[in-house]
Amino acid sequence: MKNPRSTAPCYASVLLATSLISGTTYATPLTRDNGAPVGDNQNSQTAGPNGSVLLQDVQLIQKLQRFDRERIPERVVHARGTGAHGEFTATADISDLTVAKVFHQGEHTPVFVRFSSVVHGNHSPETLRDPRGFATKFYTADGNWDLVGNNFPTFFIRDAIKFPDMVHAFKPDPRSNLDDDSRRFDFFSHVPEATRTLTLLYSNEGTPANYREMDGNSVHAYKLVNAKGEVHYVKFRWKTLQGQRNLDPRQVAEIQARDYSHMTHDLVSAINQGNYPKWDLYIQVLKPEQLAQFDFDPLDATKIWPDVPERKIGQMVLNRNVGNFFQETEQVAMAPSNLVPGIEPSEDRLLQGRLFSYADTQMYRIGANSLSLPVNRPRSEVNTLNQDGALNAGQTTSGVNYQPSRLQPRSEQASARYVETPLSGTTQQAKIQREQNFKQAGELFRSYSNKERKDLIDSLGEALAITDEESRYIMLSYFYKADSEYGTGLAKVAKADVQRVREMASKLND
């Protein structure tokens, strides 16, 4: 009786044997996840020519299983993005400010940068009016430091407890999944501190031309700590060496009609052509005793630090595109909590919430061992004592996964301790004392050219025109309080009563 099993060798085996005999070099044979060669990747196994597909077709089953699991949960914000590799070089001696090795003069540190838009999903048009994320992972000798910021130097809110509400207001209406400016202004009519950042959003700065011609900002203040334990508060800013460029509403419409990925195309193409984009890194520095000298709270994320000089401390160049978008750009896990000795968080209420939220969302998306993935893995030695978890690819051989222990040599950690921060008062839930919600918004408006002011007034005025009457007038009073020309122009476009707006603005505190 004939053996029902085929005696023909699989194609991969024939190919491999032929290459050994002939000396011809072929591509590596296609394999399954266990490394075994795939015999036929074009046809499923069936019970005869007309029979059902067989469950024993391991390649078919595995391909479908893997396909069903190709996606990880999308980021709630900053889902749409692109990334690139590069290098940061420290160019100034700031040892008087920090012990962080990334800032040792002459130090070269590999980096990965992820640029992004904020509100919409992974395949949303890059022409949409939106803040842009500018997140940099520094693979330093002390471990990874993530500087997670935006192109705007300020943010819409000052307290992390409002972050989910703000994002929900920006997202499409949950009933229809359609954008609705009236929902945004309903929320922001209760948030006067957002006036400056809303001005940025509806100006042409809300539609940058590309990622290369865009600045980046830490938004928050951080602490730098030197060898003496002395603290200075700093804000970081990336200044593009390509020059800043934004799109006006007409240009946005033209680009959106032909390319919904124009910012990604621009960055990838520039790097492929050897036109490597560069940014200089600047810091503003305040001593702790200077915080009380401002007429606003300098740790409020809705404020810039006017008249505080900037100091250049380094330069970054992006010189390599990713080899695999999912493995690198999509799986990179940025979080403000990834800090190194010499850099600490300030008491900024929004930053304090982000320290938890960002790391938590990355652990939810990618898993407990997400930081061991190649794009997230530190270049320095890792010794966490963490145990197990899905996709744990570690090579731990010690039986001691706890502390303290006399079975394993003790490591000295004192140099990495946080500095002591003086505290006073009692626990509370209250607004900050020095708000100053409108002054900087007016200064920003007056810094724009006549054309930029007109574009801003047209874009924001048209959005305000379709919101509900009460929210519209409250928002208009905020912008009028910032600058009377600004508020008047918006009221005219929104077809509102300027006198009513003026009267409401007169009742607002500065």
d(CA 126, CA 382): 37
pLDDT along the chain (510 residues), means of 10: 43 41 62 89 92 90 89 93 98 97 97 97 94 97 96 97 95 94 95 98 97 98 96 98 97 93 97 98 97 96 97 98 97 95 95 93 92 92 82 81 78 71 85 94 97 97 96 98 98 97 94
Q: Which residue has the tokens 């708000």?
A: 435
Number of Cα atoms under 13 Å in the Cβ half of residue 185? 25
Q: What is the pLDDT of residue 19?
A: 42
d(CA 189, CA 478): 8
CB atoms within 10 A of CB 251: 14
| pTM of the entire predicted model | 0.90
Q: Is 378:402 a contact under the CB 8 Å cutoff?
A: no
Q: What is the pLDDT of residue 262?
A: 97
Q: What is the pLDDT of residue 413?
A: 56
CATH pick for 81-168+208-378 out of 2.40.180.10, 3.30.465.10, 1.10.287.610, 1.10.3720.10: 2.40.180.10
369 has catalytic annotation: no
Collapsing DSSP to helix, strand or coil, 116 comes out as: strand
Q: Is 236:283 a contact under the CB 8 Å cutoff?
A: yes
In 33-176, which ranges are continuous DSSP H helix? 58-68, 163-170
Strand ranges (E), 97-181 = 108-117, 132-140, 143-150
d(CA 311, CA 306): 14
Collapsing DSSP to helix, strand or coil, 499 comes out as: helix
Q: Which residue has the tokens 């530190």?
A: 378
Q: What is the pLDDT of residue 278?
A: 98
Q: What is the pLDDT of residue 26?
A: 56
Q: Where does the chain hold its CATH 2.40.180.10 domain(s)?
A: 81-168+208-378
Q: Is 120:79 a contact under the CB 8 Å cutoff?
A: yes
The closest of 298, 357, 301 to 333, measured between CA atoms, is: 357
Question: Active site residue: 85, 120, 144, 150, which one?
Answer: 150
120 has catalytic annotation: no
Three-state DSSP string of 280-321:
EEEEEEECHHHHHHCCCCCCCCCCCCCCCCEEEEEEEEEEEE
